[in-house]
Structure 1
Amino acid sequence: MSNQAGRMLPEITPESREFWTGGFEDELRIYRCKACRGWIHPPVGACWRCRSRDVGAEVASGKGRVAAFTINHHPWFPAFPPPYIIAMVELDEQPDVRLTTCLVECDVDAVEIGMPVEVVFDEQDDVALPFFRPVKA
């Protein structure tokens, strides 16, 4: 994807570094518990399921489904003319792990709950932002 000026970029923390930089290698890196093998997002230092502190980033498939979405019609930022789709994507690896993101390469009239999507990355400075697009048949 092309760079878009005007996007507010996340602050990278030790826990989030792999998530925000994995896209430079075309990898969606999500924290995973080494004890119970549950996926964790956002990345934190302990598993919320079993309380293990043995957690770290692993490469996820980058595939998921649209769990919820909204279409923004308000021109909040000049660099992002509406309409555009903000979605909650559930990961194929574990549907209760969801990312709030933008859907790209998708007509606003075509988005629907359950739509299969795949990750694409928008490289901005020192981060590669994970967005999702519909899976092409």
Structure 2
Amino acid sequence: MSWDPRPTPDITPETERYWSAAADGELLVRECDECGLVYHYPRELCPDCFSDSVSWRETNGTGTVYSYSTARKMGGWPDEDLPLIVAYVELDEGPRVMTNLACEPDEIEIGTPVEVRFRAIEGADAAVPVFVPRRE
């Protein structure tokens, strides 16, 4: 599967550390220092208690497929990059991450254990996390 022509992320000061860590092969989430909530997508305020006392936390990059959808045809998307599998992965640390699964549709189902891989973004200090079935 090729990676182009997928769009590149909008890297902002709020998310720069997340994308930079991904380029180094680390999947980060945020943890609230006040209420303890571990959450994703990175933002400066805790979505539960609105505290601005939050820290970056490295994950182990594993989880399970919570939900997924397979697109076998998409206007403007190259046929060689299909099917496209969009999923929510529930990380072992708790939060759910919207992502792509880099595998064939018959390799996964809800509850499949997965692990993160990173696809470099050409011309940016960033990489996009995708997940593959974990071989146990």
TM-score scaled by length of structure 2:
0.88
Residues 56-135 of structure 1 mapped to structure 2, 5 A cutoff: 56-76=55-75, 77-78=77-78, 81-94=81-94, 97-104=95-102, 106-124=103-121, 125-126=123-124, 127-135=126-134
**Deviation of the 1:3 alpha carbon:** 6.6
Q: How does 1:44-59 map to 2 (within 5 A)?
A: 44-59=43-58
Aligned residue type for 1:10? P
Runs of 4+ in 1 over 6 A off after TM superposition: none
Q: Is the 8 A contact 1:30 1:43 kept in 2?
A: yes
Residues of 2 paired with 1:51 and 1:80: CA distance? 43
* Contact persistence 2:2–2:81 (CA under 8 A): no
**What SS is found at the alignment partner of 2:100?**
strand
Tell me the distance in 2 between the aligned counterparts of 1:61 and 1:132: 13
Same amino acid, percent of matched pairs: 35
- Number of positions where the alignment pairs a residue of Structure 1 with one of Structure 2: 133
Structure with the bigger percentage of strand: 1
Q: Which TM-score applies when normalising by structure 1?
A: 0.87
Give the superposition deviation at 1:61: 1.2
Shift of 1:92: 0.8
Instruction: Supply the distance in 1 between the matched residues of 2:23 and 2:11 (Cα, whole angstroms).
Output: 15
TM-superposed CA distance for 1:49, in Å, is 1.9
Structure 1: stretches of 5+ with no match in the other structure: none
Inter-partner Cα distance in structure 2 for 1:100 and 1:79: 22
Q: Where does residue 23 of structure 1 map in the other structure?
A: 22
Query: Offset of 1:90 from its aligned partner?
Result: 0.9
CA RMSD of aligned residues (A): 1.8
